[in-house]
Structure 1
């Protein structure tokens, strides 16, 4: 049983910060009790996204890694392509982003032995979503689309890139403790609901059987529905 606790609004304001709480207060018609409740609901929804996002990132990373290993016929492609694909002159405007990510990972891993598995596990979601930027996609001859064998024929690179960008930005909001319960000054979880739908779409494109596994850990909508009690 969780211990009961009570924190006065003034205490929360002191330690969470007044500017952060003011947005919750405005959205709740200046009701401090409702603002405090909304703040907790926002945290509960963000918390509920963690296992879903964790699985999404793992599934996406491994699907893309497996496909690139096939494309380059090399399970160590992430190491061996540094002076090749990742150093192509056309990538100069992007400052060789992928290569930089790999070099950063290698620096972090040293003095331990550097392996492809370790480098892959060090990559952020931004590394994998960047593969769908047009300059990378062209060099890969679109081969990464094969990571989504169950997508519709109408789902092109641009559509996938947009979904991945939106998911990554939302994920970063959660991980940086930014609120996800607003549209303007109104309480609105529609963006969170849309991201959950986008996550399900991408996972389903990889393998529909993974959706049931993900759903076992998903209680995002249950937490969003708590906002109806405000």
Structure 2
């Protein structure tokens, strides 16, 4: 048992975390509350360890796409009407600008890039853009080590997005093949930049934490 936890503390945690949230942990621990809470703690440590690789892949993705789009459509491609963006993409840009305008009259291009949600960037790799921005520019941003099909690139980053969202919503990840997921994130970064992939591998603590817990 965790050195801090007592039966009274366990009872408090069950109340504050809720039985509903702990149900998946209880299921793998034979309804043992202490074991479920230990699994919950392990899940929290593993989720925390994914922060670095997920941060790296998201920032690398948005900057890679921004660079490729700027090369063809200009650095203000998000607002100049150049690329054939879908209504959903334009709405996300509008929402980002509206949020930023709470602090400034008109945000910089870099500020808009930072404000846009991960789903926006993954969306630009979707089916609707296959014959337009993918073939015109984006394909070259994921070609380190060889060109890749848009379906492969989109599938990988969309899977990472779903995994990222599970962590963001504090969902269980401890039963998944986390070393494999970590390797897929590192590989996806390598499609964009081999050096950044190597650096992310070096600074990430996921495999260390996974071995410890």
Q: Map Cα deviations across residues 101-128 of structure 1 (whole Å, 9 max, x no partner).
A: 1111111122512221111111111111
Partner of residue 184, structure 1: none
SS of residue matched to 2:50: helix
Partner of residue 194, structure 1: 180
Q: Within 5 Å, which residues of 2 pair with 1:34-73?
A: 34-72=35-73
Partner of residue 75, structure 2: 75
| 1:98 has 2:89 as partner | yes
Gaps of 5+ in 2: none
SS of residue matched to 2:79: helix
Answer yes or no: is the 8 Å Cα contact 2:125–2:134 preserved in 1.
no
Q: What RMSD, in angstroms, separates the aligned Cα atoms of the two structures? A: 1.8
| 1:107 has 2:98 as partner | yes
Q: Map Cα deviations across residues 158-214 of structure 1 (whole Å, 9 max, x no partner).
A: 111110110000000101111112xxxxxx231x33321221111111111112211
Partner of residue 6, structure 1: 5
Q: Number of aligned pairs?
A: 206
* Runs (4+) off by over 6 Å: none
Partner of residue 130, structure 2: 137
Partner of residue 185, structure 1: none
Partner of residue 207, structure 1: 193
TM-score, normalised to structure 2, is 0.89
Partner of residue 20, structure 1: 21
Gaps of 5+ in 1: 182-187
Answer yes or no: is the 8 Å Cα contact 1:106–1:114 preserved in 2.
yes
How many angstroms apart in 2 are the aligned matches of 1:54 and 1:141? 24
How many angstroms apart in 2 are the aligned matches of 1:195 and 1:80? 37
Answer yes or no: is the 8 Å Cα contact 2:190–2:196 preserved in 1.
yes
For residue 166 of structure 1, the aligned residue among 156, 159, 178 is: 159
Partner of residue 85, structure 1: 84
TM-score, normalised to structure 1, is 0.83
Partner of residue 146, structure 2: 152
> Aligned-pair distance for 1:147?
0.7
Answer yes or no: is the 8 Å Cα contact 1:131–1:137 preserved in 2.
no
> Aligned-pair distance for 1:50?
0.8
